[in-house]
Amino acid sequence: MLRRLVPYLAYAYVTLVGWTNRHRVVRGDIPKGLHEDGRRFIYAFWHQRQVYFTWTHRGAGAAVLVSRSKDGEMIAETMRLSSLSAVRGSSSRGGAAAAKAMVDTLRSGLDVGITPDGPKGPARQVKDGVLRVAQLSGAPIVPIANALTRRVELAKAWDRFQVPLPFGRSVVVYGAPIEVGAHDDLAAKAAEVKAALDAVTEEADRLVS
């Protein structure tokens, strides 16, 4: 019963957070421009910051990679309540199948979201999954981060997971699209994506400090 209730409680709580934060978007022209060009893309964001995106991107025409675990089932239901789709899979187990599902989702007309360091870390290290999806689909990777003036960091979590709090200020920051070609060096691209994600995350933190 508790597992059935959790998604509804999470949805209600994040709604409260979204309603009570003064929100700002930086470089929102980036996703808009890609869509105007008829392109779908891959949102890439650190696992630590994922919660608030279920508010800022409600109904955005996107699907997020969610693990096949029992916890993943609750997250997928929370996504559904937030008018977001879930692609079930894992970068560590059945990674090839998950990558194919994400490529198929992009081709169906949705953007996709991936936490390159999820689901278990190491924190802020880019795994190959997001790069493979970009390479196979031809879709660019768009780094994105959020920050809030009021939030709690779970110190014992592997990524110091953030829980947003109501009654503050918030920001979402987009970075420039990153293309991954068929013959690109994936290690070099991983470093590029990490640098871009760290940069937008640091920028978001500065803007709410």
Q: Which pLDDT tens digit goes with each residue over 82-132? A: 999 999 876 555 578 889 999 999 999 999 999 999 888 999 999 999 999
Give me the amino acid identity at 124. R
Q: What residues pair up with 178 in beta bridges, in sequence order?
A: 141
Count of CB atoms situated within 10 Å of the CB of 32: 11
The reported pLDDT for the residue numbered 175 is 98
Per residue of the chain (209 residues), what is the pLDDT tens digit? 777 899 999 999 999 999 999 999 999 999 999 999 999 999 999 999 999 999 999 999 999 988 777 778 898 999 999 999 999 876 555 578 889 999 999 999 999 999 999 888 999 999 999 999 999 999 999 999 999 999 999 999 999 999 999 999 999 999 999 999 999 999 999 999 999 999 999 999 999 99
What stretches of 118-162 show up as alpha helix (H) in DSSP?
128-137
- Is 15 exposed, middle or buried, given 0-12, 13-18 or 19+ CB atoms closer than 10 A? middle
Could you give the domains of the chain? 2-208 (3.40.1010.10)
pTM of the full structure: 0.94
